A and B are shown apart, each in its own frame.
Chain A
Amino acid sequence: MSPEFDAIRLEIYWNRLTSIAEEQARGLIRTSFSTIAGEMEDLSCGVFDAGGTLVAQGATGTQGVLTGLSMGVKEMLKKYPAEKLAAGDVMIGNDPYLFCGHKYDCCVATPVFLKDRMVAVVASVLHVPDIGGAAYTMTSESTFEEGLTIPILKLFKKGELNQDVVDVIDANVRIPQEVMGDILAMVTANDIGMQRLVEFMEEQSLSDLDGICAAILSTTERALREGFATLPAGTWRSEAFMDGVDDMLKISVALTVKGNDLTVDFTGTSPQTRRGGVNTPYTFTLAYTALSIKSALVPYIPNNDGFYKVFNMIVPPGCFLNAIPPAPIIHRQLVCRPIAAAIFSALAKAVPDKVIADGGTPTMQVFYGTDNKKAMFFQALISSGGTGARPNKDGYSATCFPANIGTPPVEIIENVSPLLVAKKEFVTDSGGPGKYRGGLAERFTIKVNADLPATVNSAIEGIKTPAQGLMGGMAGMAAEATLDGVAVPGKGKYVIPPKGEFAFSMGGGGGCFAPAERPPEAVLDDVINGYVSVESARQHYKVSVDPVKRAINWEETRRLRAA
């Protein structure tokens, strides 16, 4: 802690900066134009010092965009250092390799001036509803097919909108009003953050954020290193698998703790995929590596750049966790789950009480077509699987992890598109059995209530690689996709005939510890509520339940558990 910021001053300033970023994020949610931002909240906002170091971030958002934004702002300042920026300038960019890993995440940054001097940057990122190209394609062989790349540009110059940039975006996307509306919403959000930040600095007579930034970063770093020091010294290795597009992909990880240093080494991970975009850039791998470590060891520290500095990450270029441009990269979000799973299963060998089991993959399906009034529709639906069981409690059903994105209300979907949601319900027995049970998967059944067919670009992960259990817990149900009742591979483009039906599920969470250790009363409760079937209770949990009497057959249960 630097001498000029005692514990009280630091607490007060830190809180204030975090609340400014949060205010910015609330403003962005209110003014955004798409379901993805407004209902699902796939966005993030941050306050940076003049050098581009992230000082504080709002609590809203997912780690992928949180980290991507932080890395991206530094790139923006490389192209436009302070001397090339003026009050009223606003920068924009979406290069997937520099920012958040896919082009939908557009970043907008506004330099903040105080008495003619640049003192800070406020920035926002948001997943725009379309970026052109073959939306969510599974066939792209390079990122050029994945839509429009916006290089780092000035969207506003001294307060004037750069119409050339707008025209290029408008000409490349399917729903320009929503896309530009979302981008301008970020400009508005940044204005809110800027206004508050200037007020704060004037009130506290601060001429820059350098001191507070250094104090926040060093406090974060110290706490993290103290967290690492609680780990026993040694190396833990693990692997996690995912379906990929054509071939299954493997993540290899080795965690090495030496004193209060931590190294995460992904050597041995599968090479980058040629087709379909299940690859991540360095920033995205860093994001979910940091999230996994932070969640397990120091969940209470607010996010800032202190995190990315304290551990060492080795990820060989050319593997699918550090793809080399122009490899396709659009489905990078499918990779966050196996990264967390690999790190947690390695950490489980050192600190089993601090990690959770693997869960279902949150993903996005995009439906598009023409409704009966001949209007085009384009609707993204996010759904999540069950989360993995925790070391002391069950996982949650249909809950997003490690990303954090909401599901859109059924009534909104049906008001803005000809899609009809036929069912949205938990699947019995989909949670991995364990002393603590994995969360249940949800099955989402979509019908097309129009005279014309609709198309879905589907990106379902985990059909071949269900969420694994931990420490004796069992795997959750695998993900699935069906078209009119017939199973289809989860990744691809499907045409849903009029009145036809597309159903999908993201899979259940893995269990923790052996299912036969689950108290029979908890199993009975699960059976009564339909989370677990009578058959599974008997087969996996070794509990005999009479569903009519809602009672445990104790004698038989003892016999089953003794065997």
Chain B
Amino acid sequence: MYRAGNDIGGTFTDTVVINEETGEWTVGKVLTTPTDPSVGAMTGIGAVLEAKRVKWDTVSNVVHGTTLVANTLIERKGSKTALICTRGFRDVLEERTQKRYDLYDLLFEVPKPLVPRYLRKEITERLLADGSVLVPLNTAEARQIAEELKREGVESTAVCFLHCYRNADHEHLMKSVLEKACPGMFVTCSADVVPEIREYPRESTIVANAYTGPLFSIYLSKMDDQLAAKGVGGYLYLMLSSGGITTSGVAKLRPVYALESGPAAGAIAASFYGELKGFDSVLSYDMGGTTAKMCLIDKGQPSTTKEFEVARVHRLKAGSGLLIHLPVMDMIEIGTGGGSIAWIDKLGLLKVGPESAASEPGPACYDKGGTEPTVTDADLVLGYLSAGYFLGGKMPLNLPKARAAIEERVARPLKIGVPEAAWGMIEVVNENMINAIRVYASAKGKDFRAYTIVAFGGAGPVHAYNLAQKLGVEKVLVPLGAGVLSALGLLMAPFTFHLVRSYMSPLDRVDLGQVNQLLKDMEKEGTSLLQQAGVDPKDITLQRSCEMRYIGQRREIEVRIPSGVLSAADIPAIETAYNNEYKRLFFRTYPGYKLQCLNWRVVATGPRPKVTLKRFPSGRHTIKAALKGTRQIYFPEFKGYRDCPVYDRYKLFENARIEGPVAIEERESTVVIGPGGHAVTDEYLNLLITVGGK
């Protein structure tokens, strides 16, 4: 039997089909079909199956990653959506935090709320902070609101009441009224999707869920039907932002969980390779056309965080987007990819990105009318890319156009030579990444120098060596087929459900009866969701944690808590665990200060699917057979160009050793290694690079 992974990106839809018995996998790329992405997905899978002469009905299941939910939000193409909220609070969504994300920009802009004010309906009801009812929900009003929404032609409704994270009754009552009065309407309650304290992040998230819900469920139903019609017996699974997978049935109700499914798949694949090679600490580095994503992975477990933004007005400015408060793989994304444009700012300084030449017109060297110098142009000018072997030679690059763009827009204004300008662009790109990764790693209390970089995406292998050198990282792994690694990651993800409940209490006065009940409820819910997805109960792992802080603090730290029924005897251990973690992050603890619990979490996980990789027999050959020739490549160590060998990656074999300076080419990318560095291949043709000294 076979499994298929299918990842829909902005430009391309990637497919990986894997033979479950042999582990052999085959990849394919087709153009994305934006009007109906399911067309591209089905064509993409079909094409790979056909090439392998494999029948549809031998495919046991399909795992899908998609940018559809994110694009619906970015392009504002969602459903006509309403919000029902507690009387007196309909403007929470619009006033956000009341802070501006830029101190000086008088013309700043934030995204308009997804629900206009006239569709934000207030209802008489009120809960108190402990979940008790101050004012019961007025059901007559509820029915009246339902009628109004029907008249307005509303397709989807979010329900979000104050303190519902402690008591979901009012939200559920409202939902049942709506379902009765408005059949076919998509209704989603914040207590079901994101039951956490702080009204603005919760409301922002549930509104995004409502806004994308109808389209996404129609889309998934269509995929379900098409796959069934082809004879695929198993489920359609969706990759979630958190790195887990779930069935299309669950995903239809919670589209916001799948917002970042593509990037998450990449990090999963990087963890797989880390484990395969026995690396405890991996820094995944995925650089594509418009952005670069990085993620620190410890012991095969990418960590998750609980907040991110989508559709930012300013890509690099936190606070300028729609806030989504849900578990997401804890990674950083910066606006520098192969297509990022270099420019000189008003202070006369060189900047790169976040503007991207994208695929139209593309970098100047694509010769499709682009005149702005991009990172890809710099790569070509510096000899990192070959003009004749881009995408395996399918797309010749124009070197003079690249040089002219850099000359005109960078070299001349800065009064420096073209190679120096091109190298300057690469340095600025690397520095952007280093700055981003520093802030990110230090917030997690991690020292990235101890990590091994796993580089992928079209531009990742080109830049990884230099980045590693700057970061002080010693080892870089470039898997074979790095260009489609995200799609492969889809097939490596376990089923995962993240559950959360808010219960705020001082740790020393916590009501253990209540805690045990909510943990039990969450574990029951997680187990049942996994069982519905076909996971054997004995393969289920349940992991508990609690977000805590010193009383008075406003930001929490997540601490693991023991399984089983908690008793008073467990409290000191939890306190110690918190203090240890706090000290690791912030150098000191606060003796005598009491702790407060806030959010309780359970992560329910199924087994990780087994993937084995194809082995390449050790060579009778010498690496001479893999030598394609030489070309002039720029390295800062030489302060200029040198004639360097260029190898064909597909002609390498196990245990081949290649000394830098060198370029190693494969269809989707090129690996560049500087002087002093070297690479050794393993039995899967992965390249393990050792970075040379400065």
Contact = CB atoms under 8 A, between A and B. Distances in A.
A37 B351 contact: no
Given A8-B428, A184-B588, A409 B200 contact: yes
Contact of B103 (A177, A203, A291): A291
A415 interface: yes
Given A15-B431, A23-B442, 19 more contacts: A8-B414, A15-B432, A19-B438, A26-B439, A33-B552, A39-B554, A177-B593, A181-B550, A184-B590, A219-B348, A295-B104, A300-B346, A398-B91, A405-B98, A411-B162, A426-B91, A449-B128, A528-B118, A530-B118
A539 interface: no
B348 A529 contact: no
Interface of A: 1, 6-8, 10-12, 14-16, 19-20, 22-23, 26-27, 29-35, 37-41, 59, 61-63, 175, 177-178, 181, 184, 187-188, 191-192, 196, 203, 219-220, 223, 291, 294-296, 298-301, 303, 354-356, 382-384, 390, 392-393, 396-401, 404-407, 409-412, 414-415, 420-426, 442, 445, 449, 528-531
Given A398-B91, A406-B99, A415 B118 contact: no
B677 interface: no
A191 B443 CA distance: 13
Interface string B420-434: 000010011001101
Contact of A188 (B351, B428, B588): B588
Given A38-B553, A177-B593, A299-B104, A411 B431 contact: no
Interface stretch (B24-32, B105-113, B138-146, B515-523): B105-113
Contacts of B592: 177
27 contacts: A6-B414, A7-B348, A11-B351, A11-B428, A15-B432, A27-B586, A30-B586, A32-B554, A38-B555, A177-B551, A184-B590, A223-B346, A295-B106, A299-B104, A300-B345, A300-B346, A396-B110, A397-B91, A399-B99, A407-B98, A410-B92, A410-B162, A411-B198, A415-B197, A529-B116, A530-B118, A531-B117
Given A411-B199, A415-B504, A528-B118, A398 B102 contact: no
Nearest to B97: A406
B98 A384 contact: yes
Given A196-B442, A405-B99, A424-B89, A30 B555 contact: yes
A409 B198 contact: yes
Nearest to A195: B442
Interface string B334-366: 000000000011111111000000000000000
Contacts of B550: 33, 181
B88 interface: yes
Contacts of B162: 410-411, 414
Contacts of A407: 95, 97-98
Given A7-B348, A196-B442, A32 B553 contact: yes
Q: Which residue of A8, A37, A410, A426 has the most chain B CB atoms within 10 A of its CB atom?
A: A8
Q: Which residue of B118, B416, B424, B553 has the most chain A CB atoms within 10 A of its CB atom?
A: B553
B107 to A, nearest CB: 6
Given A33-B553, A291-B103, A300-B346, A412 B98 contact: no
B163 interface: yes
Contacts of B442: 23, 27, 192, 196
B552 to A, nearest CB: 4
Contacts of B87: 423
A392 B107 contact: yes
A401 B100 contact: yes
B348 A1 contact: yes
A329 to B, nearest CB: 23
Contacts of A63: 103
Given A59-B103, A301-B347, A398-B98, A410 B89 contact: yes
A9 to B, nearest CB: 9
Interface string B110-141: 10000011100000000011000010000000
Given A26-B443, A39-B554, A291-B104, A11 B349 contact: yes
A407 B347 CA distance: 35
Contacts of A59: 102-103
Q: Would you list the 3 A-B pairs with minimal beta carbon distance, nearest first?
A: A38-B554, A423-B88, A299-B104
B94 interface: yes
Given A181-B553, A400-B98, A414 B590 contact: no
A219 to B, nearest CB: 5
B107 A425 contact: no
B90 interface: yes
B587 interface: yes
A6 B428 CA distance: 13
Q: Which residue of B116, B165, B199 has the most chain A CB atoms within 10 A of its CB atom?
A: B199
Given A11-B350, A59-B103, A425 B554 contact: no
Contacts of B109: 393
Contact of B587 (A15, A188, A442): A188
Nearest to B348: A7
Interface in B183-240: 197-200
Contact of A7 (B118, B165, B349, B588): B349
A299 B106 contact: yes
B435 interface: yes
A300 B105 CA distance: 8
A19 B439 contact: yes
Contact of B99 (A35, A400, A412): A400
Interface in B378-426: 414, 416, 424
B553 A442 contact: no
Nearest to B163: A411
A539 B554 CA distance: 46
A10 B145 CA distance: 59
A29 B555 contact: yes
Contacts of A420: 128, 134
Nearest to B202: A411
B555 A412 contact: no
Given A15-B431, A31-B586, A409-B197, A10 B91 contact: no
B326 to A, nearest CB: 17
Given A184-B588, A407-B95, A412-B197, A196 B438 contact: yes
A399 B100 contact: yes
Contact of B95 (A220, A414, A442): A442
A201 B432 CA distance: 18
A187 B165 CA distance: 35
Nearest to A299: B104
A561 to B, nearest CB: 25
B129 A411 contact: yes
Contact of A10 (B95, B349, B427, B587): B349
Contacts of A23: 438-439, 442-443
A12 B428 contact: yes
Contacts of A404: 99-100, 103
Contacts of B95: 397-399, 407, 426, 442
A445 to B, nearest CB: 7
Contacts of A8: 350, 414, 424, 427-428
A449 B126 CA distance: 13
A223 B552 CA distance: 43
A296 B90 CA distance: 33
Contact of B347 (A219, A296, A303): A219
